[in-house]
Amino acid sequence: MCRRGDRASFVTSWDGVVGQSRAIALLERTISRPGHAYLLVGPSGSGIDEAAREFAARLVVDRVDADDRTIDLARRSLHVDIVEFEPEGTHFLAAQADEVIREAVRSPVEGVRKVLVLHDVDRLNETSGNRLLKTIEEPADRFVFILTSTKPDEVLETIRSRCQRIDFVGLNDESIVTALCAGGTDDAVAQLAAGLAGGHLGRARAIAGPLAGVRRAFAEAPRRVDRTGAVAWAIVTDLEAALERAVTVTEARQVAETAANDEELERRGYDGRVAQARRRRLSERHKRELARLRRDLLLEGITAIESVYRDALAAPSPARNTDLELLVVKPIDAAAAMEACRGARDAVLVNEKGGLHLLHLVLNLPGPPRR
């Protein structure tokens, strides 16, 4: 529950990293004399990516109390001396490893150090991992590597053994509610989002904000089903519209980010190579974000439908969808609907064709109970 004073007490120098005081303390102790490579590990949603950016911001200025501009640019992945990499496919490609190596010999532009952040390093295979091994083990002066992974046991041992490991813990609902309330979210919305997010702060923030419309549209779909094609098509049309609205919001944010980046580059007077590289990295990040956004939105929507049937099956236990009336459906039908949701999720992961998968799913959801 959000209490008076929660908002002020939550404001910290590591805004966005919640419930990780031990990990933050370990990172802060190393800032003045950092090692060459760190491996931040923890469950999905525990804040390892956010912590990597916060840590990187402090490393480039060599201070625990980094200035607001540096922190802001790092959080938005726009700082010229913090370069982020993530797998472009199933694994890090050899070409990506070569790009990391090239970046690792370019001197800092404005900071005292340069930081290379590699996300999901459990997806480094033998080829790309071996290419990076010496660079990570013995980077040039004033360079630090920060690696992140939610699956540390799958990180190549040769990489893992060369990093200082920092462990992050999973988040409970109370921590997530406190974080959301500190950001201005209404108490009831925060409670709802935390219950649906499964310990994932990023998901909770999305459910409480940008994903609210998508989640609501999908969660209400089971009540509209009547097993007819006409109604199924109408439902899918509405769901597609909710997805497109969410995509439009992201596209608008990206346009604003690009404009802000161009303004920053012009104001700071970076040379052509540096400015071009930063524009390219931002453009590539935006393309990757949009490429996976629709798939991720579909998965979240399917999960929302599944949660409605899970609530029905678990009754009279407390429902997670506290803003919706409990769906009345036979247990066997609820179980079948959840199985249909799992099938739809697997299909989206294999081949994202949203409209077809959604139509197939809606047609396989149970209709209203017979009177």
Within-domain flag for 187: no
pLDDT tens digits, 164-202:
999 999 999 999 999 899 888 999 999 999 999 988 988
Burial 161-170 (b: 16+ CB within 10 A, else e): ebbeebebbe
Phi, psi (degrees; rounded to nearest 5) at 165: -90, 135
- Compute the distance between CA of residue 276 and CA of residue 259 in angstroms, rounded to an integer: 14
Q: Tell me the mean pLDDT in the region 115-139.
A: 94
Q: Tell me the mean pLDDT in the region 111-126.
A: 95
- Compute the distance between CA of residue 208 and CA of residue 193 in angstroms, rounded to an integer: 6
- Compute the distance between CA of residue 155 and CA of residue 149 in angstroms, rounded to an integer: 8
Verify that 217 and 351 share a domain, yes or no: yes
Within-domain flag for 225: yes
Phi, psi (degrees; rounded to nearest 5) at 205: -65, -40
- Compute the distance between CA of residue 40 and CA of residue 17 in angstroms, rounded to an integer: 13
Within-domain flag for 203: no
Structure tokens at 221: 């779909």
The last residue of a domain, from among 121, 143, 170: 170
Verify that 145 and 214 share a domain, yes or no: no
The last residue of a domain, from among 119, 138, 170: 170
Contact status, residue 150 vs residue 28, Cβ threshold 8 Å: no
Within-domain flag for 197: no
Read off the pLDDT band of 317 (50, 70, 90): very high
- Compute the distance between CA of residue 184 and CA of residue 186 in angstroms, rounded to an integer: 6
Verify that 259 and 341 share a domain, yes or no: yes
Verify that 215 and 354 share a domain, yes or no: yes
The last residue of a domain, from among 113, 146, 170: 170
Q: Determine what percent of the chain is predicted with pLDDT higher than 90.
A: 65
Phi, psi (degrees; rounded to nearest 5) at 34: -75, 155
Verify that 157 and 260 share a domain, yes or no: no
> What is the model's pLDDT at position 3?
47
Please report, for residues 15, 24, 125, 146, 158, the alpha-carbon distance to residue 163 in angstroms, rounded to integers and kept in the order given: 25, 17, 17, 9, 9
Domain residues for 38?
20-170
Residue 304 reports pLDDT greater than 90: yes
Verify that 115 and 228 share a domain, yes or no: no
Structure tokens at 269: 């007077």
Q: Is the pTM of this model over 0.85?
A: no
Within-domain flag for 148: yes
CATH number of the structural domain spanning residue 92: 3.40.50.300
Verify that 156 and 222 share a domain, yes or no: no
Verify that 101 and 218 share a domain, yes or no: no
Verify that 221 and 164 share a domain, yes or no: no
Alpha helices by DSSP H, 126-200: 126-137, 157-160, 173-182, 187-197
> What is the model's pLDDT at position 8?
33
User: Poorest-confidence range of 148-157, 210-219, 329-338, 354-363?
Assistant: 354-363
Verify that 165 and 57 share a domain, yes or no: yes
Q: Determine what percent of the chain is predicted with pLDDT higher than 70.
A: 95
Verify that 268 and 352 share a domain, yes or no: yes
Verify that 164 and 216 share a domain, yes or no: no
pLDDT tens digits, 219-236:
999 999 998 999 999 999
Sign of the alpha-carbon dihedral angle for 177, 182, 186, 187: positive
> What is the model's pLDDT at position 352?
63
> What is the model's pLDDT at position 4?
38
Within-domain flag for 284: yes
Contact status, residue 242 vs residue 211, Cβ threshold 8 Å: no
Nearest to 38 by CA among 141, 139, 171, 154: 139
Helix/strand/coil percent split, the chain, to 5: 60, 5, 35
Residue 111 reports pLDDT greater than 50: yes
Within-domain flag for 10: no
- Compute the distance between CA of residue 191 and CA of residue 319 in angstroms, rounded to an integer: 12
Compute the mean pLDDT over every residue in the chain, rounded to the nearest whole number: 89
Within-domain flag for 176: no
pLDDT tens digits, 257-275:
999 888 888 888 877 888 8
Q: Tell me the mean pLDDT in the region 51-76.
A: 92
Please report, for residues 196, 211, 246, 346, the alpha-carbon distance to residue 240 in angstroms, rounded to integers and kept in the order given: 22, 13, 10, 19
CA angle 66, 67, 68 (to 5 degrees): 120
Count how many domains the chain has. 2
